Structure 1
Amino acid sequence: MSEKRQANIVVKHIKSEYGANPEFLWPDRYPGYAAFRHDNNKKWFALVATISSKSLGLKDDKAIDVVNLKFDKNQTYDFAETSDHIFPAYHMNKNNWITIWLDGTLSDGLIFELIKKSYLLSAK
């Protein structure tokens, strides 16, 4: 599965499951960064973005699609060690967020479960 395909699936899932539309907060500098928030408290629960693989500490330098999700406080590093496609968050608090590489390696179902967790954690 291509990265763009899985990123598109994730965006469609968030829109249909949570009724959240993407917000493009930095259209000039980061036109491909789509933030998703709760309607009631405006807290983010997901950020879909295209970033450099080097930003995640990978050796090559290519554009990859990712999703940042809220995660259990101070467990992100432990969780990130379970997969080479899950990282402490890119460009967010690494104690509270994870970054998932959307290249089709991880199942949509697993990613949907993690989105739900993020949604519930950020609803408070």
Structure 2
Amino acid sequence: MTRKELFDYLLNTYDISPEFMWKKHPKYAVFRHPENKKWFALVMNVDPLKVGINNSPDNEIEVLDVKIDPEKVSILQKAASFKPAYHMNKEHWISIILDQFTLEKIIPLIADSFQLTK
């Protein structure tokens, strides 16, 4: 999945556009509820080492952080393309390596995150 595919999906499904909140990290995109302003998704470009990937040929990878049920965190982290959440609470959030999944595989996790942060 690409960043554009994800952003288009979030706009079309939830009518939410990304917010770029940090000058230091201009590509970091936050998606949050319009009512309560809680984040339900965060897209970042990070050094692969920061999410525990030691053999990446890339200098940066794109990750999507979503909030999920804590019971699912430990299960999902056993899969190669799910990592402990970068820059978020690792008990409740998970990082997903974007280019390792299709949008269809990620939609349920986004929906869960949206509901958990409502």
Q: TM-score of the superposition, structure 2-length normalised?
A: 0.91
The one-letter code sitting in structure 2 at the alignment partner of 1:113 is P
- Give the Å deviation of 1:74: 4.9
- Select the residue among 59, 68, 72 that pairs with 2:69: 72
Q: Distance in 2 between matches of 1:77 and 1:31?
A: 31
Structure 2 portions without partners, runs of 5+: none
- How many equivalent pairs are there? 116
Query: Is this contact kept in 2: 1:20–1:37, CA < 8 A?
Result: yes
Q: Residue 10 of structure 1 contacts residue 112 of structure 1 at CA under 8 Å; is this kept in 2?
A: no
Q: Provide the rounded CA distance (Å) in 2 between the counterparts of 1:39 and 1:14.
A: 13
Deviation readout 1:67-123 (Å, 9 max, x if unpaired) = 000110354122211x200111001000010100011x3221111111111101111
1:7 is matched with 3
Runs of 4 or more above 4 Å deviation: none
Residues of 1 paired with 2:55 and 2:82: CA distance?
A: 17
Following the alignment from structure 2 to structure 1, what is the Cα–Cα distance between the partners of residues 96 and 76?
Answer: 11
- Residues 68 and 97, structure 1, Cα contact 8 Å, conserved in 2: yes
Q: Name the aligned partner's letter for residue 64 of structure 1.
A: I
Corresponding residue of 1:50: 45
Q: Which amino acid aligns with 2:74?
A: Y
For the residues of structure 1 that align with 2:66 and 2:97, how far apart are their CA atoms?
11
Pairwise CA RMSD:
1.4
